């Protein structure tokens, strides 16, 4: 089992569910408030969480500035994205995970299973999209 640095938005429903899955699988979590990190002084570290992901995938699609169109992640390069995220950490896709010398952003259960291992009863549910947004979108479609 691994010791995992888990960067979250406190109170996020999905981050809570993600942490529960990791703990159930026997991992030890060191939890950090993503929004209170001094990312401006740690841009290289922040960049490392995104690996070879396209810049647009670095963003929290539920962030107000992204949802309302104020920021279009498709229009940004890596340097611009990191500067925006350092100024406004709610833009960062979460959680950020660090364990066993590796970092990643987001919680794709297949990726996490292959990397760290999860409970054998892991449900392949969407553990990234905010449930509040899903409910709002479903109501909007009706």
For the record, the structure tokens of 56 come out as 């647009």
pLDDT digits (tens, 9 = 90+) for 98-127: 999 999 999 998 889 989 988 655 555 556
The single residue of 12, 88, 104, 130 carrying the catalytic annotation is: 12
Q: Is the pLDDT of residue 137 over 50?
A: no
Backbone angles phi, psi at 138, to 5 degrees: -65, -40
Rounded to two decimals, the pTM is 0.85
Question: What's domain 3-141's architecture?
Answer: 3-Layer(aba) Sandwich (3.40)
Q: Is the pLDDT of residue 16 over 60?
A: yes
Q: Domain spans of the chain?
A: 3-141
pLDDT digits (tens, 9 = 90+) for 50-99: 999 999 999 999 999 999 999 999 999 999 999 999 999 999 999 999 99
Report the alpha-carbon distance of residue 75 to residue 80 in Å, rounded.
9
Q: Lowest mean pLDDT: which of 24-28, 41-45, 68-72, 108-112?
A: 108-112
Position 117 scores a pLDDT of 86
Q: Is the pLDDT of residue 40 over 80?
A: yes
Burial of 139 per CB tally in 10 Å (0-12, 13-18, 19+): exposed
Position 126 scores a pLDDT of 55
Overall average pLDDT of the 11-18 stretch:
94
Decide if 12 is catalytic: yes
Which pLDDT band, with edges at 50, 70 and 90, does 1 fall under?
A: confident
């Amino acid at each position: 089992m691994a010791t995992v640095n888990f960067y979250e938005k406190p109170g996020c429903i999905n981050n809570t569910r993600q942490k529960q899955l990791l703990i159930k699988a026997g991992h030890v979590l060191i939890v950090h408030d993503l929004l209170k990190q001094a990312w401006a002084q740690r841009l290289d570290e922040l960049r490392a969480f995104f690996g070879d992901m396209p810049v647009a995938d670095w963003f929290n699609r539920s962030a107000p500035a992204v949802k309302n169109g104020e920021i279009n992640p498709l229009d940004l390069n890596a340097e611009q994205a990191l500067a925006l995220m350092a100024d406004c950490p709610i833009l960062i896709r979460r959680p950020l995970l660090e364990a066993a010398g590796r970092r990643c952003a987001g919680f794709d259960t297949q990726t996490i299973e292959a990397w760290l291992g999860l409970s054998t009863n892991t449900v392949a549910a969407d553990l990234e999209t905010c449930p509040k947004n899903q409910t709002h979108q479903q109501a909007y479609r009706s």
